[in-house]
Amino acid sequence: MAFNHNDHYHPLLLGELPENCGKALDVGCGSGRFAYALAARGIDVDAIDAEAEVITAARRRYEETPETGRLRFAHRDITRTQPPRNTYDYISCLASIHHVPFRTVSALRAALRPNGVLVILGCYRERTVMDWLVSLLAVPVNAVFQAASALKGKTTGNRMARARQAEALPEAPTSAPSMTLPEIKESAASFLPGSTVRRLLFWRYLLIYRNTSPVQPQ
């Protein structure tokens, strides 16, 4: 049971769900774990990924769960097929935005309903002394969490959990982020005015945008 940085922040992201959230979009859903977490809360979820094999595996993984009816997995490239406007109460992007031009967030912003929330758990390129200091601090903490996860994997008695851990899931392609944290903040101020961006420990940042306008931007 490897320690997953994105999974570690699921509770933080779920804490940003708006009231009466009925429909969500998970962009770059990967294995589908976060999309499943949303569906488990009674939310209808469109989970999309640009990799066909990843979507096929995610769909198969959750096809017999009680939340199957709320989960819709689709092979879709967000840069080629924009989501419908004024549709979602909540949009999530976990370690996926750095794979596409940052301006893609404009289409996600337009897809939000009034009072909808966009959350981005993103990766950034290290450049400053502060970046390196935080990275250095993260190394020993990461080692502790890795060890705890390994111990949990050895001691768990949940057969279903063990079976899922053993699944041969296809690996989604990875790429190094090109934007630094200051560049991300500058772009966010332009494309997502009023959003907040803060650094997290495990080589991630959290961006939160709330659509406070009753009318969708053009």
At 6-43, the pLDDT tens digits run 999 999 999 999 999 999 999 999 999 999 999 999 99
Instruction: Put the strands of the sheet holding 71-75 in their side by side order.
Output: 71-75, 44-49, 23-27, 88-94, 112-122, 205-210, 196-199
**Domain range annotation of the chain:** 5-126+171-210
pLDDT value at position 150?
78
DSSP state of 45: E
Of 201, 46, 27, 51, the closest CA to residue 119 belongs to 27
Residue 148: pLDDT over 90: no
What percent of the chain stands above pLDDT 70?
88
Residue 190: pLDDT over 50: yes
User: Which CATH number applies to 5-126+171-210?
Assistant: 3.40.50.150
Residue located via tokens 């509770």: 11
Torsion, Cα 33 38 43 44, to 10 degrees, reads -30
23, 87 contact by CB (below 8 A): yes
DSSP state of 50: S
pTM across the whole model = 0.88
18, 112 contact by CB (below 8 A): no
164, 152 contact by CB (below 8 A): no
